[in-house]
Amino acid sequence: MNIKICITSHHSFSNQTFPIIVPSLISSGIEPKNIFFIEGGHTSRSIDITNNINYIKTNHNSIEYTGLIDIAEYSMESDYWVMLHDTCRVGKNFKSLIENIPQGSDKVALKRWPSMSIGAYKYTYLKKQCDRLMNIKNTDYSREKIQYWKQWGIYNEDYMLWKEHTTDCALYNEHLELSDKFIVVDEQPWFYSKIKRRVEYYPQLDLYKNKANWQPKEWMEIDV
């Protein structure tokens, strides 16, 4: 089974996040050729492959769905895609844990709703849902529009996981203790940011998330 990693990012922040998440993935055993760092916010789309890592600049900024939209729109094949935010890093067990996909599942969430859209997506499922994804593709880079889509994402979290009902959503590593929970490790950002962040740890995938906006607000803090 071929599993590729899709990291959604933005050009204003990627120089801080790429050096954290990508080495952690490689250290866990992910082959560089299976890492796709997809960076939103450009005027045109381009692909650069350096050290076997796929670096894609896209012509849209669709917040956390930037990567999934590119996969569906440009038919980027794999058996499964695991979607991560660029503000994640992983531990040594990540690779073995993401391979525990329940047989036949179209989508596997990190945890029960809300799951931040983090999880595994079957490629054929994403292609079937291409229209649904294209409906949220955003090419308006104004701060107001980005804020609109950020707010939309809060109330439509897991748009392609728990909130899409044509097929069942499975759960990663249900047999593990705390598989449906997380632990707040500390409140330290891993990079320069004016936004307050906390570190959440998800043992079901040996995954850390440096998280902002962990509760709904009238104005969501964003770095883009």
Q: Which domains does the chain have, with CATH numbers?
A: 3-175 (3.90.550)
Q: Do residues 158 and 114 touch, judged by C-beta distance below 8 A?
A: yes
Sequence-distant (≥ 6) Cβ neighbours of residue 28 within 8 angstroms: 90, 91, 92, 93, 94, 95, 206
State residue 84 phi and psi, 5-degree precision. Answer: -125, 150
**pTM of the complete model:** 0.91
User: What does the pLDDT look like over 144-154, one tens digit per residue?
Assistant: 999 999 889 88
In 65-216, DSSP assigns E strands to 80-85, 88-90, 107-109, 119-122, 170-171, 183-186, 198-202, 207-211
d(CA 27, CA 176): 22
Give the SS3 label for residue 50: strand
Which residues in the chain land under pLDDT 50? 217, 219
Q: Do residues 7 and 86 touch, judged by C-beta distance below 8 A?
A: yes
In this structure, are strands 107-109 and 88-90 parallel, antiparallel, or unpaired? unpaired
The per-residue pLDDT for 219 is 47
d(CA 112, CA 192): 31
CA 209 and chain centroid, separation: 11
In 3D space, the residue among 104, 117, 124, 107 whose CA is nearest the CA of residue 172 turns out to be 107
Give the SS3 label for residue 18: helix
Q: Do residues 110 and 157 touch, judged by C-beta distance below 8 A?
A: no
The per-residue pLDDT for 118 is 97
DSSP annotation of 102 reads: P
Q: Do residues 155 and 78 touch, judged by C-beta distance below 8 A?
A: no
The per-residue pLDDT for 187 is 78
The per-residue pLDDT for 216 is 54
Give the SS3 label for residue 47: strand
CA 96 and chain centroid, separation: 18
Give the SS3 label for residue 27: helix
